[in-house]
């Protein structure tokens, strides 16, 4: 589904990502774990073209996308929810969803009603301005708006950050439902509890390099590795 190979990204002269490689299979949830500044967000931005890699490849559904503009990457079926969400606060919840609407190539696809079933909080707030809903509901809205574009794979940057535990659990349940519907998910995270509740595959990034690649079960069994790279 999504393959990242030997990705190198720079900000000016600073070498931020060094030979980053990862895979996300169809209907799989993969998590990129690491501390602040490890390179998680830059990895996602490099995949979607917000940061242009200097070398390496990003292959999505058999096609190289690392030289495409971001809008074409989105049209190819790769959705992205940035850490700062970027919802339209002066629009209602429903209007935000309409902004993201794009027909599914295979028919059917996500509709507001399906998304309200996925995120019941949004159903109750559908006519309210996005500025007047909670931070957790804004995160749900950011994910829902991206899903309105009917991506086959979605990238989530720190989806649990700053959310109350109850809302984190609701977002985790939504991610699991996305997986069961066949949508692939790559998320960046620091929250081990959230990551272990949703992910099949895990990567650890530290100082721009992948330090671990394997299953969540393998990572969960290696307490020393988690303490070395993930503890604060």
Beta bridge partners of 22: 4
CA angle (188 as vertex; 63, 86 as ends), nearest 5: 85
Q: Residue 163: CB partners within 8 Å, gap ≥ 6? A: 135, 136, 139, 171
Question: H helices within 65-164, ranges in order?
Answer: 70-75, 93-99, 112-118, 120-124, 135-147
CA 2 to chain centre: 13
Cβ 188 vs Cβ 32: under 8 Å: yes
Pick the CATH number of 2-229 from 3.40.50.1970, 3.40.1190.10, 3.20.190.10, 3.40.50.300: 3.40.50.300
Query: CB–CB of 23/2 below 8 Å?
Result: yes
pLDDT in tens, 168-227: 999 999 999 999 999 999 999 999 999 999 999 999 999 999 999 999 999 999 999 999
Task: Kindly give the pairing relationship between strand 2-11 and strand 55-60.
Answer: antiparallel
Phi then psi dihedrals of residue 74, to 5 deg = -65, -45
pTM for this prediction: 0.91
Owner of token pair 């209007």? 95
pLDDT of residue 102: 81
Phi-psi region of 182 (alpha: psi -120 to 50; beta: other; left: phi over 0): left
Contact predicate 171/140, CB 8 Å: yes
Alpha carbon 181 to its chain centroid, in Å, reads: 16
* Domain segments of the chain as ranges: 2-229
Phi, psi of 69 (to 5 degrees): -65, 155
Query: Pseudo-torsion of CA 68, 212, 219, 163, nearest 10°?
Result: -50
| Chain mean pLDDT for the chain | 93
User: 47-105, pLDDT tens digit by residue?
Assistant: 999 999 999 999 999 999 999 999 999 999 999 999 888 899 999 999 999 988 887 66
CA–CA distance, 58 with 222 (Å, rounded to integer): 29
Return the pLDDT at 101.
84
| 22, containing H or E segment | strand 14-24
Q: Does residue 162 carry a pLDDT above 90?
A: no
Structure token pair of residue 175:
């991610």
CB 2 within 8 A of CB 47: yes
**Percentage of the chain lying above the pLDDT 70 cut:** 97
């Amino acid at each position: 589904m999504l393959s990242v190979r030997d990705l190198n990204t720079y900000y000016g002269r600073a070498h931020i990502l060094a030979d980053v490689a990862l895979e996300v299979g169809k209907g799989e949830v993969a998590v990129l774990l690491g501390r602040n500044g490890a390179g998680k967000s830059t990895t996602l931005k490099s995949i979607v073209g917000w940061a242009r890699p200097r070398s390496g490849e990003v292959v999505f559904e058999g096609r190289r996308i690392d030289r495409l503009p971001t809008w074409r990457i989105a049209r190819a079926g790769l959705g992205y929810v940035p850490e700062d969400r970027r919802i339209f606060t002066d629009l209602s919840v429903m209007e935000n969803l309409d902004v993201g609407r794009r027909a599914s190539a295979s028919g059917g696809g996500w509709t507001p009603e399906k998304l309200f079933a996925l995120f019941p909080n949004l159903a109750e707030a559908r006519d309210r301005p996005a500025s007047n809903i909670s931070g957790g509901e804004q995160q749900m809205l950011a994910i829902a708006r991206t899903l309105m574009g009917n991506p086959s794979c979605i990238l989530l940057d720190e989806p649990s950050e700053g959310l109350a535990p109850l809302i984190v659990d609701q977002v985790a349940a939504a991610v699991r439902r996305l997986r069961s519907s066949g949508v692939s998910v790559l998320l960046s995270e620091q929250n081990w509890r959230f990551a272990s509740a949703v992910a099949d595959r895990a990567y650890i990034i530290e100082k721009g390099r992948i330090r671990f690649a394997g299953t969540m079960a393998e990572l969960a069994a290696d307490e020393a590795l988690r303490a070395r790279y993930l503890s604060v």
